[in-house]
């Protein structure tokens, strides 16, 4: 699935990653300024609460038309811990900016939203009956990472690292950064979230969705980059 084509000569403004980061930060600040009782109510109202989305004793297909599934989307932009927010946005920017250049802004936004919805859906199904909300865009970021790795498996990404009084630009393999991402997710799993449910299956589902998305999009991506 490796794609290697020349990039466009005409520069284009890429807006999707910036839009996602802005929405997540605005939601985080809004929740941080909200009193705790109201904050908990908002999390339960707009987060993906598996017990409110799916009933394990009823047929699944009719439940897929329930308007409550909108929470699979709104939960993507909700974070209550600054470290959770920072880690998600950091890896979104690292993989999202080069990914958006390859995919185009609209296709990248579609990847983020659909990948996040699928990840939250898998998480809700795996935690049927749980009343803690699934929140955050970790599943969507996993989809972005999955697509990037599927398209550019041997890629190296440039990072600017602070070394004392100087800033050093280095290029590191994408898989090294993915390893750091996995370690951070393990850390969150061990510490345990304060408000929401932690769902490994959502991350795995998001990553696999990203790989499949790349498989079906690679021809369009190659044509776009050549054009």
In tens, the pLDDT along 119-147 reads 999 988 888 778 888 899 999 999 999 99
Q: Give the model confidence (pLDDT) of 184-209 as tens digits.
A: 777 766 655 444 556 778 888 999 99
Q: Is the pLDDT of residue 163 over 90?
A: no
What are the start-end ranges of the H helices in 127-173?
138-151
What's the confidence (pLDDT) of residue 194? Answer: 47
Cα 10 to Cα 92: distance, rounded to the nearest angstrom = 24
What's the confidence (pLDDT) of residue 2? Answer: 39
User: What's the average model confidence in pLDDT over 150-173?
Assistant: 72
Q: DSSP class of residue 70?
A: G
Q: Concatenate the DSSP letters of all residues of 171-198 into one string.
A: EEEHHHHHHHHHHHHHHHHHH--SSS--
User: What's the average model confidence in pLDDT over 34-49?
Assistant: 91
What's the confidence (pLDDT) of residue 217? Answer: 84
User: What's the average model confidence in pLDDT over 151-172?
Assistant: 70
The pTM of the full predicted model, rounded to 2 decimals, is 0.83
Sign of CA dihedral 180, 210, 159, 22: negative
User: What's the average model confidence in pLDDT over 82-94?
Assistant: 90
What's the confidence (pLDDT) of residue 73? Answer: 95
What's the confidence (pLDDT) of residue 51? Answer: 83
Q: How far, rounded to the nearest angstrom, does the alpha carbon of residue 162 sit from its chain's CA centroid? A: 26
Q: Is the pLDDT of residue 10 over 80?
A: no
Q: Give the model confidence (pLDDT) of 97-110 as tens digits.
A: 988 988 999 999 99
Phi, psi of 30 (to 5 degrees): -60, -45
């Amino acid at each position: 699935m490796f794609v290697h084509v020349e990039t466009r000569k005409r520069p284009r403004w890429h807006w999707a990653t910036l839009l996602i980061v802005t929405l997540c930060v605005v939601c985080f600040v809004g929740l941080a300024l909200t009193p705790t009782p109201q904050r908990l109510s908002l999390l339960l109202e707009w987060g993906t609460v598996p017990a409110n989305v799916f009933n394990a004793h009823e047929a699944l297909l009719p439940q897929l038309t329930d308007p409550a599934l909108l929470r699979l989307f709104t939960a993507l932009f909700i974070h209550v811990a600054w470290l959770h927010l920072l880690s998600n946005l950091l890896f979104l920017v690292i993989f999202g900016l080069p990914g958006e250049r390859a995919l185009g802004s609209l296709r990248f936004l579609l990847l983020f939203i659909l990948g996040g919805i699928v990840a939250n859906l898998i998480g809700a199904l795996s935690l049927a009956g749980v009343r803690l909300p699934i929140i955050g865009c970790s599943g969507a970021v996993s989809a972005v990472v999955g697509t990037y790795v599927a398209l550019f498996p041997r890629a190296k990404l440039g990072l600017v690292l602070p070394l004392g009084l100087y800033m050093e630009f280095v290029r590191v393999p994408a898989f090294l950064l993915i390893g750091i991402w996995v370690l951070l997710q393990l850390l969150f799993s061990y510490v345990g979230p304060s408000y929401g449910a932690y769902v490994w299956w959502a991350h795995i589902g998001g990553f696999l969705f990203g790989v499949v998305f790349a498989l079906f999009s690679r021809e369009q991506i190659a044509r776009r980059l050549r054009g």
